[in-house]
């Protein structure tokens, strides 16, 4: 849940990048941090686990302006993708305001995508949050591999597997090249800020 810091006159909102292991969550966040101005971007923090990582940094998206006189600071987190770190994933999801689900386009990862999304739904439910209520955007990563000999899922297959029941915005991407990274971030940020604004106006903060 977004936090209002009256000393800084800003709203702090939490965005979590979720998805299967090695799907591109970390690559997304590292690309954003690397290419974003240091004036609006905080220092990145890495929490290493065996064979996986959790990342965190915050930034102030100046182009968004103010919401009811308050600046908006978005905190970006990634969760570890491996199943054995589910307790860490639950911890990172606590207080979440928006989610980017990064799916892996590799055909061999099809079932892992489905299971990871199911895990997201379950972990949100534990936090008393419906996946249909929270600002959510899907990203289909590694689309650049379509021109290689590596078998990848078609866009339609990924929509059927992951977005058939959700009907949320989805973006093709290559996080390694930076394609689709900011488009994804912009869309989920807009959805988050719209939700925070409605809650502020309704007096729910």
pLDDT greater at residue 135 or residue 86: 135
Note down the domain range covering 132.
Answer: 3-201
Q: How many domains does the chain have?
A: 1
Q: Are 74 and 15 in contact (CB under 8 A)?
A: yes
Cα–Cα distance for residue pair 70/66, rounded to 1 Å: 5
Q: Are 73 and 11 in contact (CB under 8 A)?
A: yes
Q: What angle do CA 163, 31, 114 make, to 5 degrees?
A: 25
68-83 pLDDT tens trace: 788 888 889 998 877 7
Side-chain-side CA neighbours of 93 within 13 Å: the count stands at 26
3 beta partners: 12
Cα–Cα distance for residue pair 59/76, rounded to 1 Å: 8
pTM of the model: 0.92
Tell me, what CATH number does 14's domain have?
A: 3.40.50.300
pLDDT for 64 beyond 70: no
């Amino acid at each position: 849940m977004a936090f209002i810091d009256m000393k800084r006159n800003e709203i702090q909102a939490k965005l979590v990048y979720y998805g299967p292991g090695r799907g591109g969550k970390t690559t997304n966040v590292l690309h954003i941090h690397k290419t974003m101005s240091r004036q609006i971007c905080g220092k990145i923090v890495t929490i290493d686990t065996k064979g996986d990582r959790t990342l965190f940094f915050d930034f102030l998206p100046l182009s968004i302006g103010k919401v009811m006189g308050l600046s908006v600071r978005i905190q970006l987190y990634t969760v570890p993708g491996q199943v054995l770190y589910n307790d860490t994933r639950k911890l990172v999801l606590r207080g979440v305001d928006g989610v980017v689900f990064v799916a892996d386009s590799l055909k061999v990862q099809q079932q892992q995508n489905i299971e990871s999304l199911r895990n997201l739904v379950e972990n949100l439910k534990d936090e008393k949050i419906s996946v249909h209520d929270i600002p959510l955007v899907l990203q289909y990563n590694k689309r650049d591999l379509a021109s290689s000999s590596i078998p990848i899922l078609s866009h339609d297959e990924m929509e059927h597997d992951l977005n058939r029941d959700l009907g949320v915005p989805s973006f093709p991407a290559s996080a390694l090249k930076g394609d689709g990274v900011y488009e994804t971030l912009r869309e989920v940020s807009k959805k988050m800020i719209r939700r925070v604004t409605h809650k502020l106006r309704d007096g729910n903060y």
